[in-house]
Chain A
Amino acid sequence: MDKLAKLVTDIGKLWANYSGAYLTGIQNTLILAVAATLAGCLIGLVCGVLNTIPCSPSDSPVKRFFLKLLRVIIRIYVEVFRGTPMVLQAVFIFYGLPYFTDGAVAFKGMSGIWAAALIVVSINTGAYMAESVRGGIISIDPGQTEGAKAIGMTHVQTMVHVIMPQALRNIIPQIGNNFIINIKDTSVMFVIGFVEFFATHRNIVGVNLLYFPSAVIEMVGYLTLTLLASFGLRWLEKKMDGDDNYELVSEDSLAMSVGTYSHPSRKTPFDEQSKEFRRKDGSRNG
């Protein structure tokens, strides 16, 4: 019990001294995660859409060559950035650019670090999203495309008005996944000196060695952020699905025109009177 009491006082002490630093860390984490997720989605959207441009044998060879080339480039991008750790990608970009340009192009100062972090996380998210978007697009029933083509829509019109609205709805869970992953994984950006929530923890415990109490604050902080993100995305999904009810504007005159045929003297074929009628009549099996 006294351990718990000690933990509470330690956390209280940390919070009293460093609450500003923690909150700035949370703020930086959130800004980076939101911005990079949005940028990543945009990259993924462009890649996914370019990747699914139909390529038929009747197209001109030039068009087919460029489509193939495009697909190869996107494939390489996805495989490289999905297949390497984000920590290393950060190091590559942050130290690689000045290395190759003899310092002419470098990420200098605070804004440089922000730019590098944003680029790395966006590109990384984009690689995952490219595959999610492609999956979202090809998961839509081909009948939707055929229906659109049959009324004369072009590929672009079909994508904009029919396929993408449905595909985007289907990949919202993936976007949510990536956002939550980004909230957590932006923590590796400490390698290039980006001060987000986790880097704040490293800085603070470096001074007072209160490793565990600070880690508790971090845990609670991260979980709060991710839970809020989850709830927000669920709400968005619900909103996009729309209402399950609809209003009839008036009566449907054709529905059940076969099922409820009613003979003037026999009423409907289902009620008692008509059964009796048929029995007397004898001409039908009743």
Chain B
Amino acid sequence: MDNTILEIKHLSKSFGTHQVLRDIDFTVSKGDVTSIIGASGSGKSTLLRCINLLENPTSGEILYHGQNVVARGFNAPAYRSHVGMVFQSFNLFNNMTVLDNCIVGQVKVLKKNKEEARVHAMEYLEKVGMAPYINAKPRQLSGGQKQRVAVARALAMDPEVLLFDEPTSALDPEMVGEVLTVMRGLAAEGMTMLVVTHEMAFARDVSNHVVYMNSGVICEEGAPQEVFGNPRKQETQDFLSRFRNS
């Protein structure tokens, strides 16, 4: 139980009458790299956004170290600073340079002093290979570069878990590699990650837990060898066969 960071219990989410998530249960432990796969519209991104409270779940509980973050009056900003998120559309702050993007959260949220924050930010910008671009504005970068900065920005907050919402879906094919390289490196260092992805090779080779979602429910989950090598459910087999043929 000690290693458990996030525990999702009976999570449901509806937009109006349309139920997007139904009774989702799963656990994220320290060091886990969990890939969430599934067709578009199956609720993967909504699940991730619920975990970071960017969407309010309709019912259910999300326990962060045993504390229910969905409860009224819970300090959402403090919780979010421990749970980093990388978005499909990068969401870098357009009014700041690359370096300031990685500093502002540390200074304003974690109340670090500026110099300390700068050194810490540089450490991660170097790790993602973006140190040369610290003076650039986001509009001057390519998609892959923006996403690497976004990863550095999230890492600079020293999060316990990092959520990735389709981090490579908005990238040109030749830029996917650079972002996946960074993510592989993080996984190898033992970062706890929850990745919504369409990159099946990444899900199979890098993660130690795979969740297959289908129309708002977890259809199948387990080790990647099991889910990819020997899927039990018909839906999972159909979904995976579409990738094998292409």
Task: Tell whether A and B belong to one assembly.
Answer: yes
Question: Can you list, as one digit per residue, whether each of A90-117 has a CB less than 8 Å from chain B (1) or not (0)?
Answer: 0000000000000000000000000000
Interface size on B, residues (CB 8 A): 52
5 closest Cβ contacts across the A-B interface? A152-B81, A147-B91, A254-B129, A258-B177, A151-B105
B contact residues around A250 at 8 Å (CB) = 131-132
CB <8 Å contact, A248 and B132: yes
* Partner-contacting stretch, out of B1-9, B136-144, B198-206, B229-237: B136-144
In chain B, what residue has the closest Cβ to A150? B85
Q: Answer whether residue A203 sits at the interface, using C-beta atoms and an 8 A cutoff.
A: no
Q: Answer whether residue B183 sits at the interface, using C-beta atoms and an 8 A cutoff.
A: no
Chain A interface residues toward B at CB < 8 A: 56-58, 60, 141, 143-144, 146-154, 157, 161-162, 165-166, 169, 242, 244, 246-259
A contact residues around B84 at 8 Å (CB) = 150-151
CB <8 Å contact, B135 and A254: no
Point out which of A57, A147, A244 has the most chain B C-beta atoms below 10 A from its C-beta: A147
Q: How far, in angstroms, from A169 to B94 measured CA to CA in the complex?
A: 12
Q: How far, in angstroms, from A255 to B143 measured CA to CA in the complex?
A: 11
Q: Answer whether residue B18 sits at the interface, using C-beta atoms and an 8 A cutoff.
A: no
Q: How far, in angstroms, from A147 to B109 measured CA to CA in the complex?
A: 13
Contact of B136 (CB < 8 Å), options: A150, A246, A258: A246
In chain A, what residue has the closest Cβ to B163? A150
Contact of A146 (CB < 8 Å), options: B87, B105, B109, B181: B87
CB <8 Å contact, A58 and B56: yes
Contact of B77 (CB < 8 Å), options: A60, A144, A153, A244: A153
CB <8 Å contact, B135 and A246: yes
A contact residues around B137 at 8 Å (CB) = 242, 246
CB <8 Å contact, B95 and A165: yes
Q: Answer whether residue B20 sits at the interface, using C-beta atoms and an 8 A cutoff.
A: no
Please report the number of residue pairs spanning A and B whose Cβ atoms sit closer than 8 angstroms: 117
B contact residues around A150 at 8 Å (CB) = 52, 54, 80, 84-85, 87, 91, 154
CB <8 Å contact, A249 and B77: no
Q: Answer whether residue B117 sits at the interface, using C-beta atoms and an 8 A cutoff.
A: no
In chain A, what residue has the closest Cβ to B107? A161
Interchain nearest-CB distance for A165 vs B (Å): 4
B contact residues around A149 at 8 Å (CB) = 54, 77, 80
Q: How far, in angstroms, from A248 to B129 measured CA to CA in the complex?
A: 12
Contact of A162 (CB < 8 Å), options: B77, B90, B95: B95
Question: Can you list, as one digit per residue, whether each of B120-139 has a CB less than 8 Å from chain A (1) or not (0)?
Answer: 00000000111111111100
B contact residues around A154 at 8 Å (CB) = 77
B contact residues around A256 at 8 Å (CB) = 174, 178
CB <8 Å contact, B85 and A152: no
B contact residues around A157 at 8 Å (CB) = 108-109
A contact residues around B153 at 8 Å (CB) = 151
In chain A, what residue has the closest Cβ to B140? A246
B contact residues around A151 at 8 Å (CB) = 80-81, 84, 104-105, 109, 153-154, 157
Q: How far, in angstroms, from A169 to B78 measured CA to CA in the complex?
A: 30
CB <8 Å contact, A144 and B91: yes
Given contacts A147-B87, A244-B140, A253-B129, 11 further A-B contacts (CB under 8 A): A144-B91, A151-B109, A152-B110, A157-B108, A166-B94, A246-B133, A246-B140, A249-B135, A252-B133, A254-B182, A256-B178
In chain A, what residue has the closest Cβ to B142? A255
Interfacial residues of chain B within 64-121, with CB under 8 A of chain A in the complex: 72, 77-82, 84-85, 87, 89-95, 97, 104-105, 108-110
A contact residues around B144 at 8 Å (CB) = 255
B contact residues around A161 at 8 Å (CB) = 93, 104, 108
Q: Given A147-B87, A147-B93, A152-B109 in contact, is the A254-B128 Cβ separation under 8 Å?
A: yes
A contact residues around B110 at 8 Å (CB) = 152
19 A-B contact pairs sorted by A residue (CB < 8 Å): A147-B87, A149-B77, A149-B80, A150-B87, A151-B84, A151-B154, A153-B108, A157-B108, A161-B108, A162-B93, A244-B140, A246-B133, A249-B134, A249-B135, A250-B132, A254-B128, A255-B142, A257-B177, A257-B178
